[in-house]
Every structure is written in structure tokens, then in C-alpha cells.
């Protein structure tokens, strides 16, 4: 059964990330600096290299893989919630090469920005806490108090 809560739109931040910075790290730093507890992120641009992950549902571990070359960010979509009391950015990214072939996965540390423009929408209302989920082995939102 789906679980969800009503949230309200808050501030919106829009900007560009730093050339040479870690993509996941810089997004997380903005959330910490601005005290963001809940939000959504969208971005596009280009990376110098990428580190992505694929969650192996059988072994319950992330299999990391590196794309050690310049690629276009055709789409980054993610959210912000709290894990152990701190903002955590969970993002997935699709990247394309010069032939238009695409690669995608769970964004990991080690993805280095060439250029990146982002929009960060903050939400107000209930806080979503990530906690260990027995069924998947993932740190999912614990929303048991609001089942619908």
C-alpha cells in the first residue's frame, strides 16, 4: 500500500554548481548550508567523469561502476530528506555520450562536474526520515504513522 503525506511548496533555489566539484557532494553541501530537510532537485549539464551505482536486489548491495570520460547530463532527478538527522540527497542521473548513447543509475560520490545548472525546490511540512527497510535492505522513508 502506498504511503504518502501532504507537503507544501517552500523556497526555490536555482543556480549553477562549481566546475571540478563533486556533484553529489556539492548538492548535499547546499542542503546543509540552507537547512533543507525536504525537497526535490533537478539538474542538467555535463560531467568530466561519473560514478554510478546499481542496487543488486539479490545481494542487497550497490554495485558501483565508473564512466571515466566526459558525458552530458541529460537529466538528474533527486530528492532531499533526513538520514540520521542530516540532509541526504538521493539522486538518479542519465548521462549521454557523443553518439547519444545513454547510461544511468544511482548517483555516487566521484561524479565530477564540468558544468551544471540546477533547481532545488524546498518543501515544508512533515519531515521524511530515512531508516533501514527490512524488505529491501535500503534506507527508505519511514512513514508508518500516515498509511493511507
Q: Which parts of this chain interact with Zn ion (CB under 5 A)?
A: 106
Looking at beta carbons only, is 115 or 138 nearer to Zn ion? 138
Residue closest to Zn ion, measured at CB: 106
**Cβ proximity to Zn ion, 10 vs 25, nearer residue:** 25
Nearest to 65 by CA among 97, 103, 38, 15: 103
Min CB(34)–Zn ion separation in Å: 22
Residue pair 96/56 in contact by the 8 Å Cβ criterion: no
**Secondary structure E strands in the chain:** 8-16, 39-56, 61-67, 71-83, 86-96, 102-107, 112-124, 129-132, 139-141
State the minimum distance, in angstroms, from the CB of residue 134 to Zn ion. Answer: 18
- Residue 92: CB minimum distance to Zn ion, A: 6
Amino acid at each position: 500500500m502506498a504511503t504518502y503525506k501532504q507537503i507544501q511548496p517552500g523556497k526555490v533555489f536555482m543556480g549553477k554548481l562549481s566546475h571540478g566539484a563533486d556533484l553529489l557532494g556539492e548538492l548535499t553541501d547546499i542542503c546543509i548550508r540552507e537547512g533543507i530537510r525536504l525537497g526535490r532537485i533537478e539538474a542538467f549539464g555535463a560531467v568530466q567523469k561519473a560514478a554510478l551505482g546499481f542496487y543488486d536486489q539479490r545481494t542487497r548491495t550497490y554495485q558501483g561502476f565508473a564512466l571515466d570520460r566526459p558525458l552530458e547530463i541529460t537529466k538528474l532527478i533527486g530528492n532531499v530528506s533526513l538520514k540520521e538527522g542530516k540532509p541526504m540527497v538521493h539522486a538518479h542521473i542519465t548521462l549521454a555520450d557523443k553518439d547519444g548513447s545513454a547510461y544511468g543509475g544511482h548517483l555516487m560520490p566521484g561524479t565530477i562536474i564540468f558544468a551544471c545548472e540546477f533547481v532545488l525546490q524546498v518543501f515544508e511540512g512533515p519531515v521524511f526520515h530515512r531508516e533501514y527497510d527490512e524488505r529491501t535492505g535500503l534506507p527508505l522513508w519511514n512513514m508508518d504513522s500516515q498509511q493511507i
